[in-house]
Structure 1
Amino acid sequence: MRWPRSLEEVQFTVVEGPCITAAASGEPVYLTDWDPGARRWSLFASALRERCPDIAAVHAFPLWAGDGVLGSLDMASTAPKHGSWHISRMVVTKIFGTI
């Protein structure tokens, strides 16, 4: 499975995407609908769909340390639309305690 590497490579190459936005804003970002996603991050959406067409959703969570964001964690899923964000949020909350 090349998703994690491809997801990160695309975001850092085009310098946009859910993970970068989550780190910059300090808020979780849920990409579950590719049409608005393509409008928000056109380079990211186009490049990721080309490299990983089976990814249906991307969820990014900021990683806080005290008052600052250290970075972010993103998760990709083949499950489209609603519900996949809820599972991702539960996993991140279990691992890190809070988001």
Structure 2
Amino acid sequence: MNGWVKVGTRSELLPGEFKVAWDGDTAIAVYNIDGDLYAIEDVCTHDGGELAGGPLVGFEVECLRHGARFDVRTGEVTCPPAYEPVTVFPVQEAEGFIWTRDDR
């Protein structure tokens, strides 16, 4: 899995949970929502705060600082004060592990 970052196994990332992995200096929050995996950059585009750990309702994660919300499937803003989307990253399962990467 050259170029990919190991996140963990399915047993370490159960439905409703998240885990943060680092690809160099990029924090990537990986979410398991009803068995489907999504990965976004763990930085609110409003003020640079972490998104991981914020409330997750459906497919939306809320920034704890000012309440901006983002769709983890697309990165799109669903509630201001943020107006710029967050970056989404690929996620795959291989060799018994979950993997992601910053592919920008």
Structure having the larger proportion of residues in strand: 2
Structure having the larger proportion of residues in helix: 1
Q: How would you bin the TM-score normalised by the shorter chain? A: 0.3 to 0.5
Q: TM-score scaled by structure 2?
A: 0.34
